[in-house]
Structure 1
Amino acid sequence: MTAVWQQALALDAKFNAYRTPSNPQFKTLYIRRKSQLLRESAKSGRDPAVRKEFLPIRAQLLTAKYGSPAYSDQGSIRSRSFSMRSVGRNTLESFDNLAISDGKKHHRRHQSSGSIRMSFDGPMKRVFDSIELVPTKEADASRAMAGGKTISENYAFAGMHHIFDQHTAAVSSVKFANDDRTRVACSSLDGTLSICQVIPPPATVICMLKGHKGGVKDFVWSLSNDIILSVSLDGTAKLWDVAAGSCIRTIEDEQGGELLCCAFQPLNNNMFVTGSSKHAVQVINVSTGKGVKGGSGKVTGGVMALTFDPTGHILWAGDDRGAIFSFTIDIATGKLTKTRRITVSEGHPITSISARAWISREARDPSLLVNSCINAMCLFRIITDDGGLQLKKTFPVKQKRSHIRSTFCPLMSFRQGACVISGSEDMCVYFFDIGKDSKPCVNKLLGHSAPVLDVCFNCDESLLASCDEQGLVIIWKREGKQGAL
């Protein structure tokens, strides 16, 4: 029944942009009320087959009234099963250069100026099939300790906890505070950030952070959650006092470029890193607001995504030309040393990178999750101490133009399998089990009426936040008791 009401909600969300276009508040109230009524209907025990039969009639009525929606169809995941043919020949050729062979495949290795590129003989399918994703045996004991639930059951969501619509342009990023299940922050291309309280209800906007003169592309909480760092298309990075809701310091990019991404040094929050449209990675001292000596690096394109490994010794930067660069960083001084270059897909921007040292007790390999505009999300194994990568698996995600982000689910548990989540241009939120070779999609959330740009769990996975290109932020609640899984 839950699947049926989500399909009904997705159908109405698809046409939501056409309802009273001059009154966006009504659209938010409509979709919120629709979700509530559908949940109540699901609990009443009514026959889901009746509503399922009504869905195509409802679709015809909405199409007759509003015309065909501008966004892509939200059919089932089966109808959009991933095919390497859909990625294109150029992408396939660049995938051939992605990863280091496990030694069972013949390959050629080329090294120059610290870069590594691989090419394989034979179809790419043979390469993917040869990769053993989860190195351990099926863990029946671990599954029993987790209550015997499947990973699909653990990531089932009952509906919407709250909808925020305080931003007037696309929400570029959404992040819960570190180890905090109650607060979430959002950045927007309208030039503002917002900090929201989601628990206890009612959910409210605590404050708006205003000061950037251009769209805010990225932000990050400090480890203690007392500071937020944001970067903007106006070429500035700002440090905000969360408690006061005021700007502490503004740092202008030395080269005058747009700032596209940022990250705190995880073991030394007195340093942060920015990525700019001028192809520069820059380490900056928080106390002085100045770049550190030796803390700058160049890549081949505009830097669109940054992430550190949990130890803080490796930094990865993804650019708008389809390459990922790894740097080692001196934690004490902030000095950067470029070590590796991996071409993911020539000419297709890297829009998201996230790292995880240990995904679960069943998938212990240190891993890197990458979004690129190739209609796929890539999972890499981190294989060397200087950031070398090996392609592990790809997942079907609709992405050709939007700045889509993804993330690992935060809890390491006794459940078998490990989950990653991603936004998508087809207005859905996707959950993938990296341990499944076939049908890895274990859940799909429907409710947005525009491409979903970012997703984030709170620390105990009781709530999930997602944001879209129309400025809407949806807080989803997990089925059952809220709290740690």
Structure 2
Amino acid sequence: MAAVWQQVLAVDARYNAYRTPAHPQFRTQYIRRRSQLLRENAKAGYDPQLRRQYLKLRSQLLAQRYGPLSEQSSFRAHSNSIRSSRTTLDRMEDLEEEPRSQGSRGHRRSVSRGSYQLQAQMNRVAQEERAPGSLVPTPLAEASRAMAGDTTLSENYAFAGMYHIFDQHVDQAVPKVQFANDDKHLLACCSLDGTISVCQLVPTPPAVLQTLRGHNGPVSDFAWSLSNDIIVSTSLDGSMCIWNTHDGRCIRQIADPDSAQMLCCTFQPINNNLTVVGNSKHNIHGVNISTGKKVKGGSSKLTGRVLSLSFDSAGRILWAGDDRGSIFSFLFDMATGKLTKAKRLVVSEGSAITSISARSWISREARDPSLLVNACINKLLLYRYGPVALLLLCPA
């Protein structure tokens, strides 16, 4: 069955260069989607004889649609199809999940020997086609080139349709990107290289306005103030910094009350003089950024390392997620900054809650306030919650 689908994909790859000649990126998307569908259908166990008839009919239809290929282009397309089909066949074998019988293991060995022959032929063709000075690192790069409709590497990675690419943090990961409040042209991103970039999208060309430097360790999170003139950030160096976004100056640096790594932060939406931070010792703390001191009664403990925080729009409920799969809700006293623990929901035991966003919708279809939750179970979850019980009711 895998061999039949391999031949189907090879036929598509041969004619792929004729599809949408003005838009080569669409050819790449087509062949990738085609490969995905073939892998899925290969697991269904259809009659191989029917698939061979399908292969014959599809070859005839493609020949009628695009015409017969010339001998030279046929050879080139055939070599490209060998490379792309070999990659697809290997992926189909890797994705097989059911235990194989003794007979099926023998079939796998025979298929592997065939793939080695394809690899050898692929290497020979790659050397023949490679021009002096061309950038083709490995035979696998040639396979990717074939799937892209035999375009050059520069054409394949031209990022057609991209507005702009910011690459100032290219050497380290970027944990968070966030637009400023009510501003679609101003954004910031933090990096594990210890800096924060404030960027503008217009006027063109887009540019980095400020690079905020001052942390001695990776920056784990940041938040915009309501007026976008202040950014608060947390770092694994155990400190929180308050920044002036206009000149990039660090106004104040505050050490974590527990001398732990700071992992997340958020502004109180009504009173931006107060922030809440979470650390690696399972604690959340309310902090007055004017004085740099912890708010009395504004601390609480979770079951794990605090990875995400979010207030509701009114600033009366605080949500916190930890690395053990739990979400906690807290009542926030607007006058004193005191936190009172309300409810706990275990989303998935041991799966980190990496992001929480609370929203209230003005809609007939979504009247209840909601939480958008990112959990390390390969899912993005949307919950609605009751304003009285403060308990997550069910996925929306």
TM-score for both structures, normalised by structure 2: 0.62
Matched residue, 2:315:
312
Matched residue, 1:38:
none
Superposed displacement of residue 242, structure 1: 0.6
Matched residue, 2:197:
194
Matched residue, 1:264:
267
Superposed displacement of residue 363, structure 1: 2.2
Higher mean C-alpha deviation, range 174-183 or range 224-233? 174-183
Matched residue, 1:338:
341
Q: Distance in 1 between matches of 2:263 and 2:292?
A: 18
CA 365–216 in structure 1, closer or farther in 2 if over 3 Å, else same: same
| Cα deviation code 1:237-266 (max 9, x no counterpart) | 100001111100001101111111110000
Q: Distance in 1 between matches of 2:240 and 2:268?
A: 15
For residue 246 of structure 2, the aligned residue among 243, 246, 252 is: 243
Q: Distance in 2 between matches of 1:187 and 1:212?
A: 11
Superposed displacement of residue 236, structure 1: 0.6
CA 214–3 in structure 1, closer or farther in 2 if over 3 Å, else same: farther
Counterpart code for 1:282: H
Q: Give yes or no for the alignment of 1:5 onto 2:29.
A: no
CA 6–184 in structure 1, closer or farther in 2 if over 3 Å, else same: farther
Counterpart code for 2:245: V
Matched residue, 1:445:
none
Matched residue, 2:168:
166
Quick check: 1:316–1:387 contact (8 Å CA) kept in 2? Answer: no
Quick check: 1:171–1:186 contact (8 Å CA) kept in 2? Answer: yes
Secondary structure at the counterpart of residue 310 of structure 1: coil
Superposed displacement of residue 387, structure 1: 2.4
Q: Distance in 2 between matches of 1:7 and 1:228?
A: 43
| Cα deviation code 1:282-335 (max 9, x no counterpart) | 000011011000000000000000000111000010000000011001112110
Counterpart code for 2:373: V
| Cα deviation code 1:180-211 (max 9, x no counterpart) | 12211110011100011111210111111011
Matched residue, 2:353:
350
Gaps of 5+ in 2: 1-19, 33-65, 67-76, 88-121, 123-136, 142-159
Secondary structure at the counterpart of residue 60 of structure 1: helix
CA 187–5 in structure 1, closer or farther in 2 if over 3 Å, else same: same
Q: Distance in 2 between matches of 1:287 and 1:221?
A: 16
Q: Distance in 2 between matches of 1:320 and 1:166?
A: 29
Q: Give yes or no for the alignment of 1:281 onto 2:301.
A: no
CA 360–294 in structure 1, closer or farther in 2 if over 3 Å, else same: same
Quick check: 1:222–1:228 contact (8 Å CA) kept in 2? Answer: yes
Secondary structure at the counterpart of residue 201 of structure 1: coil
CA 390–8 in structure 1, closer or farther in 2 if over 3 Å, else same: same
Give matches, 1:78-117, under 5 Å. Answer: none
Q: Distance in 1 between matches of 2:312 and 2:385?
A: 10
Q: Distance in 1 between matches of 2:364 and 2:168?
A: 40
Quick check: 2:210–2:247 contact (8 Å CA) kept in 1? Answer: no
Give matches, 1:72-151, under 5 Å. Answer: none
CA 346–238 in structure 1, closer or farther in 2 if over 3 Å, else same: same
Q: RMSD between aligned alpha carbons?
A: 3.0
Superposed displacement of residue 362, structure 1: 3.0
As a proportion of its length, which structure holds more strand? Answer: 1
Superposed displacement of residue 60, structure 1: 2.7
For residue 60 of structure 1, the aligned residue among 71, 75, 84 is: 84
Secondary structure at the counterpart of residue 307 of structure 2: strand
Quick check: 2:263–2:279 contact (8 Å CA) kept in 1? Answer: yes
Q: Distance in 2 between matches of 1:58 and 1:7?
A: 17
CA 286–67 in structure 1, closer or farther in 2 if over 3 Å, else same: farther
CA 273–5 in structure 1, closer or farther in 2 if over 3 Å, else same: same
Q: Distance in 1 between matches of 2:204 and 2:27?
A: 27
- Kindly indicate whether structure 1 or structure 2 has the higher relative contact order, using CA contacts under 8 Å at least 6 residues apart: 1
Alignment length (residue pairs): 266
Superposed displacement of residue 386, structure 1: 5.0
Quick check: 1:229–1:239 contact (8 Å CA) kept in 2? Answer: yes
Q: Give yes or no for the alignment of 1:225 onto 2:228.
A: yes
Counterpart code for 2:176: S
Q: Distance in 2 between matches of 1:348 and 1:329?
A: 26
Q: Distance in 1 between matches of 2:316 and 2:264?
A: 19
Matched residue, 1:475:
none
For residue 378 of structure 1, the aligned residue among 378, 381, 386 is: 381
Q: Distance in 1 between matches of 2:221 and 2:82?
A: 39
Quick check: 1:315–1:329 contact (8 Å CA) kept in 2? Answer: yes
Quick check: 1:327–1:386 contact (8 Å CA) kept in 2? Answer: no
- The structure that has the greater radius of gyration is 2
Secondary structure at the counterpart of residue 209 of structure 2: strand
Secondary structure at the counterpart of residue 371 of structure 1: strand
Matched residue, 2:153:
none
| Cα deviation code 1:379-405 (max 9, x no counterpart) | 111113352112224xxxxxxxxxxxx
Give matches, 1:320-331, under 5 Å. Answer: 320-331=323-334
Give matches, 1:416-431, under 5 Å. Answer: none
Quick check: 1:359–1:366 contact (8 Å CA) kept in 2? Answer: no
Quick check: 1:11–1:59 contact (8 Å CA) kept in 2? Answer: no
Counterpart code for 1:301: G
Gaps of 5+ in 1: 13-46, 48-53, 70-157, 394-485
